[in-house]
Amino acid sequence: MSILLRNIKIITPSEVLIGYEVLVKQGKITKIDLQENMQNIEFDEIIDGKGQYLSPGFIDIHNHGNSGYDFMDSTIEAIDSIGKYHLQNGVTSYLGTVLTQSYENIVEAVKNIANYENKENSSQILGIHLEGPFFSHSKKGAQPDKFIRDPDIIFIKELIKISDNKLKMVSIAPEKDGALELIRYLKEKNVAVSMAHSNATYEEAMNGINNGATISTHLYNGMRSFNHREPGIVGASLTDDRVCCELICDRIHLHDAAIKLALKAKGTDKAVLVSDAMRAAGLKDGEFELGGQKVMVINGEARLSDGSLAGSTLNLNKAVYNMVKFLNVPIHEAVKMASLSPARAIGVHVNKGSIEVGKDADMLLLDDNVNVSCVIKGGNVIFKK
């Protein structure tokens, strides 16, 4: 099956190309060239973009669920539903996030994701993001306190085996006893390590980075605040070029100025848009559950009874829109933060994250308001308005 996409504005990591067309064959992008050079190309189907943007599919490396489901439900139905919602909102691939829970519940959730067979009409699950349980009690946020533990290499070895090497990212507090040893081990296994729910000082955070941590989970949230005499984990993350930073751009978790500061420090190459969405995403306000805790969603804000934020109701399509609309970020840079930057963060950028010859044909058609009108995944048109 081959598809020619024409009358499009192609979003690349560095610019928007006009007057070019894209050829897709057998699930891959095989040719990108000027319209006049594509006249004699053979294809099975043509898609007229009607002047819309052609964007790479979004990649969400941190999300807990949506549509009333959570990865901790540990069911095929949950992943099916989560993936369909993702696809309709432009996320063509993602990591399923497993949060702090009992070891038994974590194992069950990991097994469920590892055994899941991706479906054509659903976003592709690339692997597992383990968010916990190796965190600081004082910065737990919405992570259940009673299940927080010290780093445990034996357990991680078991999870890597159970996951069939689909464990792609682990969030950890670098100041915990045994954390540095665990970070080194995960680096050896090519598992991305992120610093999260941490009260680390600047020195402790730098120890984590020097031992292999390369991501800062939902920057500013769930970590020691920046201070001019003790910059903490925020200061380490913003000033070290080895670290990329997750940003929840729902305009609830972060003030616009905090995002602008992060972009000035990191640039869009090292800024990663994530949703951190929980099961309420895509649904009306009401009472929900996260990690066994009651969550109230009011006006789209998800909070525990103590007022702590408990994930979000965001999707990456909205996050990109917010970056363009409210922070005046050029669309190609906003899209990069939701595609190539997360792909690089977890090491899948060889095949995903940008519209380049040889990469997977995971692409979107977006209008001027970043609404998704068409989703192509693996070279197949899956969703079209």
pLDDT digits (tens, 9 = 90+) for 245-292: 999 999 999 999 999 999 999 999 999 999 999 999 999 999 999 988
358 is annotated as contributing to ligand binding: no
153 and 49 both lie in a single domain: no
The tokens for 60 are 């969400």
205: pLDDT strictly greater than 90: yes
CATH code, 133: 3.20.20.140
Q: Is 221 annotated as a binding residue?
A: yes
Same domain, yes or no, for 71 and 216? yes
310 known member of a binding site = yes
- 133 preceded by a cis bond (ω within 30 of 0): yes
Q: Consult the annotation and say whether 253 binds a ligand.
A: yes
- The type of residue at 4 is L
Same domain, 279 and 180: yes
What is the arithmetic mean of pLDDT over 195-224?
A: 98
CA 301 distance to own-chain centroid:
19
CATH number, domain of 41, equals 2.30.40.10
273 and 255 part of one domain: yes
Mind telling me the catalytic residues?
276
Q: Hey, is 316 helix, strand or coil? A: helix
Do 125 and 18 lie in a common domain? no
- Look at the chain and report how many structural domains it folds into: 2
Kindly state whether residues 230 and 128 are assigned to the same domain: yes
In a shared domain, residues 74 and 9:
no
Instruction: Kindly report the average pLDDT of the chain as a whole number.
Output: 96
Widest Cα–Cα separation across the chain: 65
Q: Which domain holds residue 24?
A: 2-55+354-384
Q: Are residues 121 and 249 in the same domain?
A: yes
Q: Are residues 376 and 248 in the same domain?
A: no
11 and 114 fall within a common domain: no
Whether residues 242 and 378 fall in one domain:
no
Q: For residues 283 and 371, state if they share a domain.
A: no
Give the percent of the chain with pLDDT over 70. Answer: 100
**Angstrom distance (rounded) from CA 174 to CA 183:** 8
203 is in an annotated binding site: no
